[in-house]
Structure 1
Amino acid sequence: MKKYFMIALLVTSTIWGANAQLLPSLQFGVKAGLNFSSLKSEEGGWLDASTRTGYQAGVWARIGGAGVHFQPELYVTGKSSEAKLVEENEEGKVSFTSLDLPLLLGTRIGLGPAGLRIVAGPVVSFVVDKNIGQSLQQVTEFGEYKNQAWAVTGGLGLDISNFRVDLRYEHGLSELSKNESAPQKLNLWTVGVGYRLF
């Protein structure tokens, strides 16, 4: 009888363990990092922009079990670029402060507390503050900037116990300027460090 009880207990615990691996889990944490952004004019080459360093800080969540996970994030982000208008020979700093909402799908490779992640997905940015250098404000090609923009991002991440490290590239999809004759997009690299709270 004891033998059958032990076999039943072993089978039950094995089935329960397998199901636990398939059940969705929830993680939540905080994250901060740096970005390296630049404005691009893809048509005509009238804008020459150099890369500048910005920041991001916010929270992230991860929902999913084995295989694929969904990772929404929310950050306050500062992005800037040193812009020079080639024809007018005017230059100045352009900066944006935005609330960024990446909606990522990813997968994790690894066991236990350490693993490599691959993530990709869309990002919507809600601009809460924008600052155009005084010399650029008077140039009509720059015009006014929109309050919302879309981008796509992807990259790699590393989990070590409760710590997270991410490297991503974000490619702007939306034209930032309201002036259709002066298209501008913002592209950036981000490096972030996070901590899982639970």
Structure 2
Amino acid sequence: MKKFTLIAALLFGVAHFASAQLIPNFQFGAKAGVNLSSFSLSNNNFDGSNRAGYLGGFWARVGGLGFHFQPELYLTGKNVNIEDDNGNVNRVKFTSIDVPLLVGSKVGALGFGGRFYTGPLISFKINDSQNFGGAFSDAVRLRDVKNQNFAWQLGAGVDIQDLSIDLRYEYGLTKQTYNEGNSKARINLFNLTLAYKIFSM
């Protein structure tokens, strides 16, 4: 009887794990967190130091056959102190709507597990020439992509029921302009976020 119970429990666990990995599913949720930016400057006369920023928005996940596609859309603020040779410090802030398009895989079952993912990120900058509404419209429609900034994300996450904790590294592929377009900087950053699954099907 004990062997039967053990075998039944094992088979149930394997079946649940397989169904969680193979059967297509959809999830949607919200997320918020902080980032720590490191700027690689195009001018050797300046040094960049790290400052904390923020991000908040929404994510979706479509999974099946052991893999998932996870597009996201969130507002982010990336900050840095820039010091020149004379010791003058300028605080530069980049505000944008970011759209990561991630592909990954998950291990685990029964609401617990880890995820690994990577993919490109398109950053729709909010500045004097493009306000929040314009950047949001461009991001949702993925419009005017060629004139935006690009990065690549790599990260891992832990799922605990409806909550997820993610840690990512973002490498800037293009240089963003600042100081009225006279200077450029490539943004590399880490971000740590807490996500909540609103619904799934």
Task: Specify the alignment match of 1:137 in structure 2.
Answer: none
- The letter of the residue matching 2:35 is N
Q: Percent identity?
A: 42
Cα gap change, 1:182 to 1:161, in 2 (>3 Å): same
The alignment yields a C-alpha RMSD, in angstroms, of 2.5
- 1:159 match: 159
What is the deviation of 1:80?
0.6
For the 8 Å contact 2:21–2:66, the answer to whether it is kept is no
Evaluate the alpha carbon distance shift between residue 45 and residue 149 of structure 1 in structure 2; reply closer, same or farther with a 3 A threshold: same
Task: Show structure 2 runs of 5+ residues with no match.
Answer: 1-14, 129-146
| Residue of structure 2 equivalent to 1:33 | 33
Amino acid of the structure 2 residue aligned with 1:193: L
Between the aligned partners of 1:107 and 1:99, the Cα distance in structure 2 is 25
Q: Describe the superposition over 1:149-171 as per-residue Cα deviations: whole angstroms up to 9, x where unpaired.
A: 10001111000000010000101
Partner of 2:9: none
Partner of 1:103: 101
1:197 maps to a residue whose letter is: I
2-structure distance, mates of 1:77, 1:60: 14
Question: CA offsets per residue over residues 27-49 of structure 1, 9 Å max, x none?
Answer: 000000000112212x6632201
Task: Give distance in 1, aligned partners of 2:93 and 2:158.
Answer: 30
Alignment of 1:192 with 2:193, yes or no, is: yes
Partner in structure 2 of residue 148 of structure 1? 148
Q: Distance in 1 between matches of 2:93 and 2:19?
A: 49
Structure-2 change in CA distance of 1:183 and 1:95 (3 Å): closer
Counterpart CA distance in 2 for 1:19 and 1:164 is: 20
CA distance in 2, matches of 1:48, 1:18: 51
2:194 alignment partner AA: V
> Which one-letter code corresponds to 2:51 in the other structure?
R
Counterpart residue type for residue 113 of structure 2: G
TM-score by length of 2: 0.74
Q: Tell me by how many angstroms 1:97 deviates.
A: 1.0
**Is the Cα–Cα contact under 8 Å of residues 40 and 47 in structure 1 kept in the other structure?**
no
Say whether the 8 Å CA contact 1:39–1:83 is kept in structure 2: no
Alignment check: 8 A CA contact 2:20 2:109 kept: no
Name the amino acid aligned to 1:127. K
Q: Aligned partners of 2:19 and 2:155: how far apart in 1?
A: 30
Instruction: Report the counterpart of residue 64 of structure 1 in structure 2.
Output: 63
User: How many Å apart are 1:66 and its aligned residue?
Assistant: 3.7
* Preserved contact between residue 174 and residue 186 of structure 2 (Cα < 8 Å): yes
Structure 1's 188 and 124: CA in aligned 2 closer, same or farther, altered over 3 A? same
Asked if 2 retains the 8 angstrom alpha-carbon contact of 1:34 and 1:53, the reply is: yes
Report the Cα distance in structure 2 between the residues aligned to 1:30 and 1:108, rounded to whole angstroms. Answer: 19
Which amino acid in structure 2 is aligned with residue 161 of structure 1? Q
Could you tell me which of 84, 90, 93 is aligned with 1:92? 90
Which structure carries more helix by proportion? 2
Deviation at 1:111, TM superposition (A): 1.5
Normalised by the size of structure 1, how large is the TM-score? 0.75
Partner residue of 1:126 out of 96, 121, 124 = 124
Aligned length: 165
Equivalent in the alignment of 2:110: 112
Distance change (3 Å), C-alpha of 1:152 and 1:187? same
Q: Which letter does structure 2 place at the counterpart of 1:172?
A: G
Q: Distance in 2 between matches of 1:67 and 1:45?
A: 46
Contact 1:38 1:82 in 2 (8 A): no
